[in-house]
Amino acid sequence: MRDQIYAAPLPEVSGFAFDEAVARVFPDMIRRSVPGYTTIIPMIELITARYARAGTRLYDLGCSLGASTLAMRHGVKQRDCQLIGVDNSEAMLSQCRAYVEADSASAPVELVLGDIRDQVIDNASVVTLNFTLQFLPPQDRQPLLQTIFDGLQPGGVLILSEKICFNEPEQSIQEVLHHDFKRANGYSDLEISQKRTSLENVLITESIEAHQQRLKAVGFSQALVWYQCFNFVSMLAVKV
């Protein structure tokens, strides 16, 4: 379904939530809102193929409708790997289950309704946070990353995709280009404005440097940017 959640003027714009209305239009919303999303997903499959190890677990934290989960599932080439997708939205998980059941890959997938901050990470080779960390309060981000690092096997990786911010004047330039991207995908100025208002204090961005410093602080030996388009990036953090 086409995303028209913010197409009409709203008397009051409430905070963004991953509810049933968003779940219905989420594939269209994220494709038209996030530059490079349609590149990042297949590359998660490629990265998984490189780093997944036999007999380990692969986690998709904040799995939403399962795009990253299924990319990881198709990337698994090793034996006895288990995928675990975690999300706190029943509306999103309900549709995710349908996508997983219709998928042709064979690696087992467990979907968990819960808070990713409470999820145990154990014997992992690949963990994905695909545009998820940005929705957590900043003070909760390092503890979660520490849990992920501690649960990864040596040689394991974290794929971290985020909307980011910059110092001025680059911030303004990147924002303008992002809005141009949305307009090119059919969003009106009203939709862009109302969506932006809904995300204030819900999605809190940080700089690339802040993410890299935090990843290094919890123990990752490398934290590199493998993809960037405007103010959206995907990073690869490696545990030696």
Taking only the tens of pLDDT, the chain with its 240 residues reads 999 999 999 999 999 999 999 999 999 999 999 999 999 999 999 999 999 999 999 999 999 999 999 999 999 988 899 999 999 999 999 999 999 999 999 999 999 999 999 999 999 999 999 999 999 999 999 999 999 999 999 999 999 999 999 999 999 999 999 999 999 999 999 999 999 999 999 999 999 999 999 999 999 999 999 999 999 999 999 999
The pLDDT assigned to 197 comes to 97
Q: Is 63 marked as binding a ligand?
A: yes
Domain boundaries 17-126+133-158+165-239, CATH class? alpha beta
Residue 87's contacts (CB-CB under 8 Å, 6 or more residues apart) are 18, 62, 63, 64, 93, 96, 111, 112, 113, 114, 116
Beta strand segments in 109-219, E: 109-113, 124-130, 152-163
Given a contact cutoff of 8 angstroms between Cβ atoms, the answer to whether 179 and 149 are in contact is no
**Residue 167 counted as an annotated binding residue:** no
Q: What long-range pairs does 146-149 form, CB within 8 A, spacing at least 24? A: 146/218, 146/219, 147/119, 147/121, 148/59, 148/61, 148/121, 148/124, 148/218, 149/218, 149/219, 149/220, 149/239
Of 106, 23, 119, 35, the closest CA to residue 66 belongs to: 23
223-230 CB contacts, 8 Å cutoff, 24+ apart: 226/43, 226/47, 227/36, 227/39, 227/40, 227/43, 228/36, 229/35, 229/36, 229/39, 230/35, 230/174, 230/177, 230/178, 230/181
CB 42 within 8 A of CB 115: no
Query: Does 80 belong to an annotated binding site?
Result: no
pLDDT of residue 79: 84
Residue 62 annotated as binding site? yes
What pLDDT, on the 0 to 100 scale, is given for residue 54? 96
pLDDT of residue 38: 96
Radius of gyration for the chain, computed over Cα atoms and rounded to the nearest angstrom? 17
> Cα 128–231–210 angle (5° rounding)?
65
The response to whether 116 counts as a known ligand-binding position is: yes
- Residue 115 annotated as binding site: yes
